Amino acid sequence: MATASVAFKSREDHRKQIELEEARKAGLAPAEVDEDGKEINPHIPQYMSSAPWYLNAEKPSLKHQRKWKSDPNYTKAWYDRGAKTHQADKYRKGACQNCGAMTHDAKSCMERPRKTGAKYTGKYIAPDEKIETFELDYDGKRDRWNGFESASYARVIERYEARDEARRKYLKEQQLKKLEEKNSNPNDDQVEASDEEEEEDDEDALKIDEAKVDESKQMDFAKVEKRVRTTGGGSTGTVRNLRIREDTAKYLLNLDVNSAHYDPKTRSMREDPLPDSDPNEKFYGGDNQYRTSGQAMEFKQLNIHAWEAYEKGQDVHMQAAPSQAELLYKNYKVIKEKLKSETKDTIMEKYGNAAAQEEIPKELLLGQSERQVEYDRAGRIIKGQETALPKSKYEEDVFINNHTTVWGSWWKDHQWGYKCCKQTIRNSYCTGAAGIEAAEEAINLMKANIARKETTEGLVLSLVKYRCGLS
């Protein structure tokens, strides 16, 4: 049924539309015309002629089946890398406190953090970056090669070519040096020694170039040549190096749904499917078993060392040059052990070696001595040895301002103070016993004044009541 995505308002409209389509199929009615003036074949199936709902097609059309035109606003322009606009001479308000640029803040600054920022020094102000804002359409956002610079990879090629050229130049110089030595030393012994050195140099040159192997020879590295039985006799065939049929698959070792998880996409089972079985009888203990045994940990340490060396400025890459990374790691371990032994020798030379000295007396070795120590029934020391109290990390027994006790040694009326002078002010000067007596006299005098005041107020009140006839 050929129809466009038109919304029918009633059943009557739907019925008329069906009749019109049948008439068009029979050739009794003219065919529909799309928005471009082209006729629509009435025999096109509905699933091809109906437009998706999100296109909001109000008229019959086949535009959704044709190749859509790309957005005329699509551009392959990209950000101007490293472009600068303006460089100021002094620090401006609101600029980056680290480098002094106005286009970002200190949190987003990509420069090395300075010891003293540009805000305080006013020197070496970084230029402002070029800020570009342009919107990409659907295709532009998903263009993975938009903004790619082939010159960046050309620099990588130049670096490798320069390295190969230096290597060839070095080998040539070595060969010329060898020939000169051979010509200058005509003796037989020296000639034989030079021949041996020449053979060793040739072997080194072969080791250098052994990585340059034809890729066609490595295509079938995962194949195994073995005899394949046929009806006409034995013949040699190529068999893929896969699991032997007699071996049990790892996901069939334990059929419990709560056992180790098996990922069919990567064919991995990290946990042990049979953790309770005898380790001497099982041949598979999970993929994590291989990650923590054998040379896996050493390879992991080699990777970590390569990363750290690259971060510190050395041109080493584990995947690009594994032999170089491994040699660097071996040299690092040798130097580390040498430095460790030198440090140990220096410490032993300075402080001595207690293990190489004379044997410790037995009474000291077993903790025996002639000192008499008395204990009670609970095991506490009564006499003979004073128990050492643990020292606090804070200062203890530090007396200030002529005090003989520390702050907090006296407590009264919810206030801390000094016990020597009974003062509650932290930075007060100690007055000793005279201060205590003066404080007590002041308190007694204050109490006497309060009592006298209460007595006077009582007499005045009684006199007023008497005169007013209230008593």
Residue 53 covered by a domain: yes
Residue 397 covered by a domain: no
**Domain final residue, candidates 142, 167, 202:** 202
Residue 161 covered by a domain: yes
Residue-wise pLDDT tens digits, 15-73:
777 777 777 776 666 777 887 778 888 888 888 888 888 888 777 788 888 776 555 65
From 130-144, 208-222, 354-368, 370-384, the region with the lowest mean pLDDT? 208-222
User: In 45-55, which positions are buried (b, 16+ CB within 10 angstroms) versus exposed (e)?
Assistant: eeeebbbeeee
Retrieve residue 466's tokens. Answer: 């008497």
Residue 187 covered by a domain: yes
**Domain final residue, candidates 164, 181, 202:** 202
- In this predicted structure, the answer to whether residue 234 has a pLDDT above a threshold of 80 is no
From 97-111, 190-204, 238-252, 424-438, the region with the lowest mean pLDDT? 190-204
From 162-171, 318-327, 354-363, the region with the lowest mean pLDDT? 354-363
pLDDT tier, 194 (very low <50, low <70, confident <90, very high otherwise):
low
How does the average pLDDT of the chain come out, rounded?
79
User: Do residues 92 and 100 make contact, with C-beta atoms less than 8 angstroms apart?
Assistant: yes
Retrieve residue 35's tokens. Answer: 């928005």
Residue 135 covered by a domain: no
Burial (0-12, 13-18, 19+ Cβ within 10 Å), 418 = buried
pLDDT tier, 292 (very low <50, low <70, confident <90, very high otherwise):
confident
Residue 122 covered by a domain: no
How high is the pLDDT of residue 120? 93
Q: Measured between alpha carbons, how far is 362 from 58 in angstroms, rounded to an integer? A: 106
Residues 395-400, mean pLDDT to the nearest whole number: 80
Strand residue runs (E) in 207-328: 223-230, 233-240
Retrieve residue 103's tokens. Answer: 């286009």
Q: Measured between alpha carbons, how far is 387 from 247 in angstroms, rounded to an integer? A: 69
Residue 196 covered by a domain: yes
CB atoms within 10 A of CB 394: 6
Residue 274 covered by a domain: no
Residues 261-280, mean pLDDT to the nearest whole number: 89
Sorted by sequence, the CB contacts under 8 Å of residue 172 that are 6+ apart come out as none
Retrieve residue 410's tokens. Answer: 């006296």
pLDDT tier, 166 (very low <50, low <70, confident <90, very high otherwise):
very high
pLDDT tier, 425 (very low <50, low <70, confident <90, very high otherwise):
confident
How high is the pLDDT of residue 6? 44
**Domain final residue, candidates 166, 182, 202:** 202
pLDDT tier, 235 (very low <50, low <70, confident <90, very high otherwise):
very low
Residues 74-79, mean pLDDT to the nearest whole number: 70
pLDDT tier, 3 (very low <50, low <70, confident <90, very high otherwise):
very low
How high is the pLDDT of residue 221? 44
Q: Which amino acid is at 336?
A: K
Say what the alpha-carbon torsion angle 54, 60, 65, 70 is, to the nearest 10 degrees: -60
How high is the pLDDT of residue 73? 59
Give the range of the structural domain holding residue 39, as residue numbers without chain letter: 11-65
Residue-wise pLDDT tens digits, 201-228:
655 554 555 444 444 444 444 444 555 4
How high is the pLDDT of residue 186? 64
Q: Measured between alpha carbons, how far is 126 from 97 in angstroms, rounded to an integer? A: 11
Q: How far is CA 80 from the centre of its chain?
A: 30
How high is the pLDDT of residue 164? 92
User: Do residues 129 and 101 make contact, with C-beta atoms less than 8 angstroms apart?
Assistant: yes
71 or 175: which carries more pLDDT confidence?
175
User: Do residues 184 and 203 make contact, with C-beta atoms less than 8 angstroms apart?
Assistant: no
How high is the pLDDT of residue 72? 60
Retrieve residue 78's tokens. Answer: 């990209």
How high is the pLDDT of residue 161? 93
Sorted by sequence, the CB contacts under 8 Å of residue 60 that are 6+ apart come out as 3, 4, 6, 32, 33, 34, 40, 49
Domain count, the chain: 2
